[in-house]
């Protein structure tokens, strides 16, 4: 949004009604100022609709409307963000939003302002308008991510994991990969299940202690790499197997390489730790 040249001028909205509203309790919503309009409100609107209500302490209706919006925002649990402008204190913001009446509502979606309210509305009317705002935002790719349909094999795998049944979960992911070989989520799911199955019941502290005592024991080193990856220590795990790789050849070397590739599959391919380890693997093999 580009602010108009007269952004700093005051806006004159003098015909506001009485009686004065109850101002003894805090009002909901982010208070919009000339500083945070550009720095906070507009960036927030890239991820969720930001509904801005312009109000005045001289208008009881506008204050009540703001409190109603606060209740709806709470009920909607994070689907949108409420902000508010006290036009008596933030006249430059009101001027920027081209406010001509109170109450006045504008919603920011993806950085663009859309007026939606120029008179008081009842709570049911407000909820209906907000539903339309959320639908409009979704059409523009702003707000909650659409729920993706899952594959039946994935549902089966996740249900099996809830029961600790790694065998069934692994089989389900393998069937999904056989049906959709390019499904990266299925490959990640399979790698995660296999790691969970391999480390289930292991005494991590003892394995790491034993691995220090027996640095050339393939089984121990591979188990220790699994444990390290489970704990988030990717580089030590990769380095452990890369060191082992150059000590062996034949079937033993292939086993170490295969485990490395399985561990790589658990991480984003663009992760610099994976890229570095892949280069080291290629150098060691060729």
- pLDDT number for residue 251: 93
C-alpha 246/C-alpha 248 separation (Å) is: 6
Q: What is the pLDDT of residue 15?
A: 40
| 188 pLDDT tier (thresholds 50, 70, 90) | confident
3 state DSSP class of 140: coil
User: Looking at residue 177, what is its pLDDT?
Assistant: 93
**Could you tell me which CATH class the domain 152-285 is placed in?**
mainly alpha
Least confident span in 24-28, 129-133, 145-149, 252-256: 145-149
pLDDT at 22 over 70: no
Q: What is the mean pLDDT of residues 129-150?
A: 74
For the chain, what is the mean pLDDT?
84
Taking 90 as the threshold, does the pLDDT of residue 198 lie above it? yes
Q: Contact 57/90 with Cβ under 8 angstroms?
A: no
Q: Where in the chain is the domain with CATH 3.40.30.10?
A: 30-139
Bridge partners of 135, per DSSP, are none
State percent of the chain over pLDDT 90. Answer: 32
Q: Comparing 138-152, 196-210, 215-229, which segment has the lowest mean pLDDT? A: 138-152
The answer to whether residues 225 and 240 touch, using CB atoms and an 8 Å cutoff, is yes
Task: Tell me how far apart the alpha carbons of residues 198 and 200 are, in angstroms, rounded to a whole number.
Answer: 6
Measured CA distances, 47 to 50, 70, 266 (Å): 9, 19, 28
Q: Where in the chain is the domain with CATH 1.25.40?
A: 152-285
* pLDDT tens column, 30-61: 888 877 877 778 888 888 889 999 989 888 88
> Residue 208: which pLDDT band, with cuts at 50, 70 and 90?
very high
pLDDT over 70 percentage in the chain: 89
Asked whether the beta carbons of 252 and 246 are under 8 A apart, the reply is no
131: preceding bond cis by omega (within 30 degrees): no
- Give φ, ψ of 33 to 5 degrees: -130, 170
| Per-residue pLDDT band at 148 (split at 50, 70, 90) | low
CATH architecture of 30-139: 3-Layer(aba) Sandwich (3.40)
């Amino acid at each position: 949004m580009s602010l108009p040249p007269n952004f700093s001028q005051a806006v004159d909205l003098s015909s506001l009604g009485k009686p004065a509203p109850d101002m003894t309790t805090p009002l909901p919503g982010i208070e919009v100022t000339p500083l945070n309009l550009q720095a906070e409100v507009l960036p927030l609107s890239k991820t969720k609709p930001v509904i801005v209500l312009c109000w005045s302490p001289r208008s009881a209706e506008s204050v009540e409307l703001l409190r109603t919006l606060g209740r709806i925002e709470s009920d909607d649990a994070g689907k949108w963000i409420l902000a508010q402008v006290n036009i008596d204190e933030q006249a430059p913001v009101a001027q920027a939003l081209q406010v001509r009446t109170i109450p006045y509502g504008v919603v920011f979606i993806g950085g663009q302002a859309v007026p939606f309210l120029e008179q008081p509305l009842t709570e049911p009317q407000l909820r209906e308008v907000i539903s339309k705002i959320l639908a409009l935002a979704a059409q523009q790719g702003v707000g909650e991510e659409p729920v993706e349909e899952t594959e039946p094999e994935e549902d089966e795998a996740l249900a099996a994991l809830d029961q600790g049944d790694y065998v069934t979960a692994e089989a389900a992911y393998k069937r999904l990969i056989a049906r959709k070989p390019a499904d990266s989520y299925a490959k990640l799911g399979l790698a995660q299940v296999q790691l969970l199955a391999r480390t289930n019941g292991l005494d991590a502290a003892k394995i790491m202690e034993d691995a220090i005592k027996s640095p050339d024991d393939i089984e121990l080193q591979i188990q220790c790499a699994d444990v390290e990856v489970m704990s988030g220590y990717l580089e030590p795990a990769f380095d452990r197997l890369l060191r082992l790789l150059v000590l062996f050849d034949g079937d033993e070397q292939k086993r170490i390489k295969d485990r490395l590739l399985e561990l790589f599959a658990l991480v984003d391919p663009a992760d610099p730790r994976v890229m570095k380890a892949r280069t080291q693997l290629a150098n060691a093999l060729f």
